[in-house]
Structure 1
Amino acid sequence: MNSQLDARTAVKETLPTVFGYIGIGLAFGVVSQSVGLDVILVMLMSAITYAGSAQFIMVSMLATHSPVISIMVAAFLVNARMMLMSATVAGYFRHDSMWHNILVGTLLTDESFALGMNKLNATDRKLNFHWFNTVNLIAYGTWIAASGVGALLGKLVAHPEKLGLDFALVAMFIGLLYLQVIADKTLSVNLQVVVIAVEAILIYVGLIFIPSNALLLVGTVLGCVIGVVIKHARN
């Protein structure tokens, strides 16, 4: 990454993540088609919901004929982390219009958030609308197209779980976490590894006491708090 924050630079820096969107989108399309959703419904879900993890959960719940209200609550809880991410990103757009802030926040994803946080290391902690909006639009378009193609190809794959396609989202998050650790020069690698280990323990223990849909939000908040405490204690 370089210090430029124009749209052309955003295109070049987003291209490596596009392959991740394509892989996850294809996997989602295949899985969705296997439970009876057609191409139009798959693409509409990707365009309106636009949340990989929530969409996988919605499809699995639809397959088990879960109540609509349960699906809505599950999708909200899984995506609740986006409120924390949007609040973090909003701090870099204080001088932009409300429309710009709404557009950036609406299309924000885990991947674009991670890309933005990595970009801060090369721009003296600065971001702008043109760069971030370009990143988001590329991701949005790629996700919708890839999920549609996946649904078309789904008829050729009778049991997608046997190919490990249901693990695609997890694999992508692991890759993003690794990139964040090696790119963030403001924190030591040891400190980041400690926080990751603490968060893993929290999630593992939390699975015993907290419903899995709520655990993501609770674990994120607790992990952030504990991370801040550990950071200040070590410094």
Structure 2
Amino acid sequence: METVGYRRFREGVQACVPTMMGYLGIGFAAGVVEKGVGLSLWQIAALSLLVYAGSGQFIICGLLALNAPIPSIIVTVFLVNFRHLLMSLSVTSYFRGKGLWQTIGIGSLLTDESYGVLTTALQAGHKVSVAWCHGLNVAAYLVWLVANVLGGLFGQFLTDPARFGLDFALTAMFLGLWLFQVDLPLKKRTSQSVRILLAVVVTLVVGMRLFSGEIAVIAATLVGCMVGLLTEGGVQ
């Protein structure tokens, strides 16, 4: 007879299935690129385990190809992935009192995709437990590792990943998660949700014209959070 914790963990894994399917494609493409810049299989595995960020890993490969200095690579990847700190902060209230190591485990493996699944579940009123989050995060983490290694193994036989649409896998996954997140607020037609969405879009568009994409994303996130906090009644 399965325990409650195991059942919640399994439910988190099930919720992660769409993300895992997307990770197979984009992770494989990442492995192909990583192998192309001269990384060995163990280096690809280490990069996937320690960095665990699609955009960050692609950027690392691009900078390695340009022989960029290590400090510039570190700073660039830090800026690109700084948004993960903001994402983690936005869900900390749901895991208060759960223990330091439990929350570190959740925050360390939280990605854009798993955050989208998590916040969609929260918006739908689902009771999200620590075990559920671990199932969601660990499943995505392991699939990402396997996909990267497979890309490194078989990448030499696949010279053009874009031909098979692998380069669009991450974009398609983002679009699906975004639609799930905005579907409920738009159906409710809450003025607060519309204001937050407009603030994020306007800030992102303006920011992309004035700054780099990374800074624009961080700025849009902060503006969206600020609008949500200043609006009475909390996020709808």
Specify the TM-score bucket, using the shorter chain as the normaliser.
Answer: 0.7 to 0.9
Number of corresponding residues = 229
For 1:41, the equivalent position in structure 2 comes to 43
User: 2:186 touches 2:194 (CA, 8 Å); kept in 1?
Assistant: no
Counterparts in 2 of 1:197 and 1:150: CA distance versus 1, 3 Å: farther
Amino acid at match of 2:144: W
Give the secondary-structure state (helix, strand or coil) at the position aligned to 2:102: helix
Inter-partner Cα distance in structure 2 for 1:128 and 1:75: 30
The residue correspondences of 1:66-215 to structure 2 (distance < 5 A) are 66-123=68-125, 126-161=127-162, 163-183=164-184, 188=189, 192=193, 195-196=196-197, 198-215=199-216
Inter-partner Cα distance in structure 1 for 2:198 and 2:125: 29
In the TM superposition, residue 211 of structure 1 has moved relative to its aligned partner by 2.8
User: 2:23 touches 2:170 (CA, 8 Å); kept in 1?
Assistant: no
Inter-partner Cα distance in structure 2 for 1:165 and 1:12: 23
Counterparts in 2 of 1:68 and 1:175: CA distance versus 1, 3 Å: same
Unaligned 5+ residue runs, structure 1? none
User: 2:207 touches 2:215 (CA, 8 Å); kept in 1?
Assistant: no
Inter-partner Cα distance in structure 1 for 2:143 and 2:194: 32
Between stretches 76-85 and 115-124, larger displacement belongs to 115-124
Inter-partner Cα distance in structure 2 for 1:116 and 1:176: 10
For 1:216, the equivalent position in structure 2 comes to 217
Between stretches 4-13 and 68-77, larger displacement belongs to 4-13
In the TM superposition, residue 81 of structure 1 has moved relative to its aligned partner by 0.8
In the TM superposition, residue 122 of structure 1 has moved relative to its aligned partner by 4.4
Give the secondary-structure state (helix, strand or coil) at the position aligned to 1:6: helix
TM-score, normalised by the number of residues in structure 2: 0.84
Aligned Cα RMSD in Å? 2.8
In the TM superposition, residue 172 of structure 1 has moved relative to its aligned partner by 2.0
User: 2:114 touches 2:136 (CA, 8 Å); kept in 1?
Assistant: yes
Between stretches 136-145 and 67-76, larger displacement belongs to 67-76
User: 1:35 touches 1:59 (CA, 8 Å); kept in 2?
Assistant: yes
For 1:27, the equivalent position in structure 2 comes to 29
User: 2:203 touches 2:216 (CA, 8 Å); kept in 1?
Assistant: no
Inter-partner Cα distance in structure 2 for 1:65 and 1:30: 19
Identical counterparts, % of pairs: 37
In the TM superposition, residue 49 of structure 1 has moved relative to its aligned partner by 0.6
In the TM superposition, residue 54 of structure 1 has moved relative to its aligned partner by 1.3
Inter-partner Cα distance in structure 1 for 2:23 and 2:58: 14
In the TM superposition, residue 120 of structure 1 has moved relative to its aligned partner by 1.7
Inter-partner Cα distance in structure 2 for 1:205 and 1:175: 24
For 2:13, the equivalent position in structure 1 comes to 11
TM-score, normalised by the number of residues in structure 1: 0.84
Give the secondary-structure state (helix, strand or coil) at the position aligned to 2:16: helix
Between stretches 7-16 and 155-164, larger displacement belongs to 155-164
User: 1:11 touches 1:134 (CA, 8 Å); kept in 2?
Assistant: yes
User: 2:208 touches 2:216 (CA, 8 Å); kept in 1?
Assistant: yes
Inter-partner Cα distance in structure 2 for 1:53 and 1:190: 33
In the TM superposition, residue 157 of structure 1 has moved relative to its aligned partner by 2.1
Inter-partner Cα distance in structure 2 for 1:226 and 1:212: 21
2:63 alignment partner, one of 61, 78, 81: 61
Partner deviation per Cα, 1:82-133 (whole Å, 9 max, x = no partner)? 1111112211111211111111111111121111112224445x42211111
